[in-house]
Amino acid sequence: MQLEKEIDERKAMEEEREALIRELERKNGELERFTYTVSHDLKSPLITIQGFAGLLEEDAKSGDPSRIKQDIERIISAADRMQELLEDLLALSRIGRVANPPQDVSLETIVREAIDFLVIPVIERKATLEIDPGLPGVHVDPDRIREVYVNLIENAIKFTRPPDHPKIRIGKREDNGETVFFVQDQGMGIDPQYSSKIFRLFEKLDGQSGGTGIGLSLVERIITCHGGRVWVESEGPGKGTSIWFTLPHASGGGIDKEQ
């Protein structure tokens, strides 16, 4: 009996060791891809800055004020993009490391706070936002989940191309006894074959859109850190997109209906 017990313990330790090695290999691969992608995306604005700094020197010598102004604007734009990239990377690095203690809060309160953050683009694009009644109370880090909704609503606005006005629905459904949340738009949609690709770091299916391509990676990490999962549904280009996610500890009714 003792020998069998020792063999079983040895097998369990070996399996645990192999699992740790596989996880380390996976993380190393992820880190390698991350490093390559970051260096590639940061290189682009640097090249722009270097190029227009050279043009600025030439235009300054020729005394052309309009060209000088254009050169400076291009340099500032590239610097702003680099700052945006660095800030998003910093936010991404904090997920899973720095977190506020979970609280019992009304999800409707979080959603309305997220919309307040986006009041300017909502007004500028004449967006219509519909919040389903009965959003439940949840046990979450409210700052992080607000960040999820800010990113998802901002994307829904961004990927509805003018002259169309964004129509966005925020709600939930019950799926086999589980509460599932969604942010749904009627925008440009995506081909279903790219449904998993959109959560990759810096991945942008529409090269003309603004942003760094980090938003949905942030969303996925935040939801995963809360023990949930996230996925996308779209019937195809031009047919809108729905981002779905789960949150543990969702209760049946709201907790504090702050308005």
Domain boundaries, the chain: 2-94, 103-246
* Rounded Cα–Cα distance for residues 17 and 91 (Å): 32
Average pLDDT over residues 13-32: 76
Mean pLDDT, the chain, whole residue set? 79
Distance from C-alpha of 30 to C-alpha of 199, rounded to nearest angstrom: 14
Q: Which of 98-112, 124-138, 141-155 has the lowest mean pLDDT?
A: 98-112
pLDDT at residue number 34: 60
Q: Is the dihedral of CA 54, 59, 65, 66 positive or negative?
A: negative
Residue 174 pLDDT exceeds 80: yes
| Residue 196, pLDDT score | 66
pLDDT reading at 66 higher than 80: yes
Is the peptide bond preceding residue 65 cis, with omega within 30 degrees of 0?
no
Q: Is the pLDDT assigned to residue 205 strictly greater than 50? A: no
One of 3.40.50.10380, 3.30.565.10, 2.10.10.90, 3.30.1050.10 is the CATH number of 103-246, namely 3.30.565.10
Neighbouring C-alpha atoms within 13 Å toward the C-beta of 43: 6
Q: What is the CATH number of domain 2-94?
A: 1.10.287.130
> 28-66 burial by CB neighbour count: b if 16+ within 10 A, else e?
eeeeeeeeeebeebeeebeebbeebeeebeebeeeeeee
Q: Which of 15, 251, 8, 215 lies closest to 135, judged by CA?
A: 251
Same fold, 2-94 and 103-246: no
Q: Greater confidence, 58 or 259? A: 58
pLDDT at 50: 85
Q: Mean pLDDT throughout 13-34?
A: 74
Instruction: Give residue 17's pLDDT band: very low, low, confident or very high (50, 70, 90).
Output: confident
